[in-house]
Amino acid sequence: MGAVSVPKKTASSRFAKVFIFLYTLFFLVVYAPRFIGVDSAGAFSHLQFVWDDFLFHHAAQRLKSGDPRLILVAADDETGRKFGFPLPRAVYAQALDKLKADGARTAIFDVMFFNPREGDAELAAATRRFGRVVHLFSEAQQSTSHGMNTVTSLPVQPLLKATPYIGHPDVTDLLDEDGHMRRYALFREGVPDPLRDKFDAVSLEAAALSAFEDKSLEDIRARTGTGDHLLNFRTPATWLLHEKRDAKVKAEDAEEVDSPYRRISLLDILSGDLTDAQRRALKGSMVILASTSLGDYDHYPTPFMETAPGAEFHLNAIDNELHGDSLTSWSRLTTILLILAAMSLVYVFQLFTPAVGAALTAATLLGWLAYAFHQFSRGVIVEFLPPAAALVSAYLVLVVHRVLAETRKKDEIKGVFSSFVSPEVVEELIQDPEKMKLGGIKRDMTIFFLDIAHFTNISEKMDPEALIKFLNKYLSALSYVILKRRGTVDKYIGDCIVAFWSAPIENPNHRADAVLAALECQEVVAELNKTPDPGLPEIPAVRIGLNSGIVTVGLTGSDNAIAKKFAYTVIGDDVNLASRLEGANKFFGSRIMISESTYAGCKDRVEARTLGLIRVIGKATAIWVFEPLAEKGKLSAKWAEALPHYERGIAGYYARRYEEALGEFKKVHGILPDDAATNLWLGRCEEYTVIPPPAEWDGAFNMTAK
């Protein structure tokens, strides 16, 4: 048996398997640069940066304020206007003495003193007096005729001798491709420290921690290692830059700054114009002296601010180390495994209905999002986006494929069924294609054959154009009745209509629906005959045969690319019996003949009479047949009077009480003198009252014609 190329679950499943496999490979290739540690490459790098910043903006439970012991002493615009830039080194020396007097514990210079200048001796002396002062050195790559050389810049000799705390501030190798700094490293791995042979280059942060905590660099290195750390940004607060002075002026005139760390103007330090709160904050503090004057400082974006002084980056890194809460991240291998898991889930979800699959996908995505936020609250950044993108994009592709496949399937269903089932049935099949079982299946159904009586005589008297018009008129009207009663038109064979009930959609009431359709077809013919078209004849009668039973139903035909044609039809012995019953109407003069199997399923909805026991051609077993007269409760007055007599006559006949049966049929004849079946029984009863049939006769009429 042929089959229409309608997409099935198996085809969709095959597509899903191939797609998931190829799409997984695609994702792994796209993610590969990050897996091998090239963070600046790959499609997910920039997205991961955006995700990291998003977490800080929306995971409020993770946000922390800056450590109050960390203070930025700012060489601001006002300081520059008084002393000029670069500030004299004697000014920095005065600042160190003031800070020591105020109780500061550690001072960091985010200022480079590489070239000898006036005031070096004062600054060196102030450095010695302070004790815990971090000065800077720098290393840069320069191109020479012999290749790239590392050039080291050290503080001037007086400063180099005045303090053991020297560190580099270089962050260029920590910059992400979007210009943000999200990482820090306390020891610059692979770069030798110019002052300490056994160390990688010591950072400003490492030197500051050593000074502040009174720990050796060996201890700091043992605790932190040499790798990069993910910066756990502190949330900004609003500070008054000149706190004592700004507290006395109008709010709109106060100079405010947003920073995770208290910011005090260097000018206020020098003048001693500090509030009690500032003096308390300075006791035991770590201060970093840096320029914040516009155009005279390095600045970088953070998740909270478009620009922030580089000094705040150093303080943030130190803050992370003081509290041991820098962020961690999952291994890239874990992310790859999650991508594979996401793809596996997509394959599973597409096996469900679209609504369930979408709900499961959304629930998984929300669960993954909640878990990512939860992990961030614990100080762990997970790569949320690659698995999420794999899950959502793969599911959307499969949904689009499914929609297109189902659209094609709906078009196939419309193309195959719209010509022989009602629009309502077609719509039901479209809504639930599983009701349409393609290929052959066995099902209990009712088969319907309708034929126009004496059609050969009618057709011989008509020209071809009129004949087609005549057929179209009646076949259209009768087909409408069949479709309206949830029947399926199988085919037209000349003037014959073949139809069936309970396929493609199963119908438990198929017997009643088919018989009621047959009764309505008779009514439609009567109505059409009342107003025939000019030049077209009336239909003398239509004969209908119905039988119910287990038959095979399905699509048959050719799936050849050139001769592609299908028919949705029924096959089986019970189909042939329905055809025989249609022809057997001629013997009884009846309009509709139904088998006992059909009548058993509709007797509570139909008024019918027994036609008798018949044996059709090709069958050894006789069957009882009946003629439906009307829908239950709609029997005509004459038949309501005649039917009891008729049924008693049938009962008497088959009990061989022919005299009794003759009397009953005469009563029916008196009410309905033109009823052909009654007249048939009258003749038989009159005959058998004279010459009874043989004792072995079963009373069945043997049909000799189809």
pLDDT on residue 624: 97
CA pair distance 502, 513, nearest whole angstrom: 10
pLDDT on residue 224: 85
pLDDT on residue 615: 94
pLDDT on residue 249: 78
559-596 burial code (b ≥16 CB/10 A, e <16): eeeeeeebebbbebebbbbbbbbbbbbebbbbbbbbbe
Which pTM was predicted?
Answer: 0.60
What are the CA-CA distances from residue 522 to residues 453, 635, 697 (Å)? Answer: 12, 14, 35
| Ranges of the chain with pLDDT below 50 | 1-11, 40-41
All structural domains of the chain: 9-61+328-410 (no CATH), 65-323 (no CATH), 422-631 (3.30.70.1230), 636-706 (no CATH)
CA pair distance 79, 203, nearest whole angstrom: 28
pLDDT on residue 41: 44
Give which of 697, 58, 117 is closest to 372, Cα–Cα.
Answer: 58
Residue pair 582/544 in contact (Cβ under 8 Å)? The answer is yes
pLDDT on residue 478: 95
Fill in the amino acid letter for 643: L
Residues paired with 570 in a beta bridge:
553
CA pair distance 150, 164, nearest whole angstrom: 23
